[in-house]
Structure 1
């Protein structure tokens, strides 16, 4: 009986140790290489939808004080492995609010950025946009906040087809992505010329009329230019997606978005 009890105790202890080390390894892996991120808003539609769950590649650009796995990085500032490129979808820490945002890199250090009548002007040249159909979604509450989407074809009854014209935008480096339009003449459709300072980046959301981004200066309560040290990592792939209030509502998962690459 004593031997049986000892074996049981030993088996339980081995299980506890296995679980403990598994959690340690998972924590180290998460801290060093990847960070989970859940899309809480519609600012990046239709590239990213509310309820998309992805892992952020923290090694894409090297460590910053916001992606560093330690409380103090070995070297102050940012240790760049490579520079972000125009078109990258990046998670970063908001410079003034202390929360994580996800947007697309539009302007690099030294670039000039402007919006004119809803068209992006980069370094004085219009960025080409080609019509690409219509993005349609039901006019229903979305995510934990249960906020219904805004529609170009308002008024739309609850449950009706909420439509937004879609365009394919091609940046100077040849990368293309889709952008949406909700309303013509939106205040951020026309902006001053912004010159991106050294060591910072200009971000915009793909859902242009529903995105708080670098078009609103930090001094006015917006995002403004984002210093390199605030970058956390690049979003490369959606792992899975939920159309419901919670990721745990597996019956609301969107099967067509599993392991979908982020472009």
Structure 2
């Protein structure tokens, strides 16, 4: 027969186990609420937003900036349609959204066209509602290769009608995406482009050609806010033993503009 002390110890052990389970459940629920309503982390896998965002950047996206849609919820569960507590993005915002033709794929681009806008690119110059966006040539970006050698990339400072300013890369003015027709943004949709203008699949590319096309408001996930971690690609967020020499310290806590 078990002693009184053994019974007490068993009960204490069971109580401690369930306390641990409850703590883990609460932690998971809190994380889900924060991820759904406040901030969600994303990492940059491609070069389409260079030089603003580099491959290896990890950033926080504010989920509350534009309100909430089904894509605010983990797994994109269709619990409701449209957006609630909706706030419209501003021209120039860097946004994360679900690709309209592949709603399980996250994209990040810069909003340059709002509902009703007419957007065109001519000779590499962005034109909004018939007016060319101010485009100022600045110093080249010098890209060094690991094995030696460098590449010079043209950079321009663009200033949208709203006054929002950012830097774009330009490899050529003769790309097919440097000379387009006029895109008229439908109601409830947005037009987005990558800052790396000659290396971005964005709203200039038809969804039938694996492009983005116009972005429905429902597909917006949130606004990119700040880079909280960045490596040169030789180490991941969960590989701290590789961080030494891989972290790009100059990019940490950089506000995304």
TM-score range, shorter chain: 0.7 to 0.9
Task: Render the CA deviation track for 1:138-192: whole Å, top value 9, x for unaligned.
Answer: 235xxxxxxxxxxxxxxxxx43222211111000011111101123312211111
Structure 2: 5+ residue stretches without partners: none
Q: What CA distance in whole angstroms lies between the structure 2 residues aligned with 1:64 and 1:179?
A: 30
**Aligned residue in 2 for 1:256:** 250
The correspondence for 2:157, drawn from 168, 172, 186, is: 168
Q: What CA distance in whole angstroms lies between the structure 1 residues aligned with 2:114 and 2:50?
A: 22
Q: What CA distance in whole angstroms lies between the structure 1 residues aligned with 2:144 and 2:14?
A: 56
Task: Render the CA deviation track for 1:197-239: whole Å, top value 9, x for unaligned.
Answer: 1111000000001100111122333111111111111101111
**Aligned residue in 1 for 2:60:** 55
Please identify runs of 4+ aligned residues in structure 1 that moved more than 6 A.
none
Q: What CA distance in whole angstroms lies between the structure 1 residues aligned with 2:20 and 2:199?
A: 49
Alpha-carbon contact 2:67-2:84 (below 8 Å) kept: yes
- How far apart are residue 50 of structure 1 and its match? 0.3
Q: What CA distance in whole angstroms lies between the structure 2 residues aligned with 1:26 and 1:79?
A: 21
**Aligned residue in 2 for 1:46:** 51
**Aligned residue in 2 for 1:185:** 174
Residues 23 and 199 of structure 1: is their aligned pair in 2 closer, same or farther, counting only changes over 3 Å? same
Q: What CA distance in whole angstroms lies between the structure 2 residues aligned with 1:10 and 1:66?
A: 38
**Aligned residue in 2 for 1:127:** 133
- How far apart are residue 102 of structure 1 and its match? 0.2
Structure 1: 5+ residue stretches without partners: 141-157
TM-score (norm 2): 0.88
- How far apart are residue 72 of structure 1 and its match? 3.3
1:206 aligned to 2:195? yes
- Tell me the number of residue pairs that the alignment of Structure 1 and Structure 2 aligns: 245
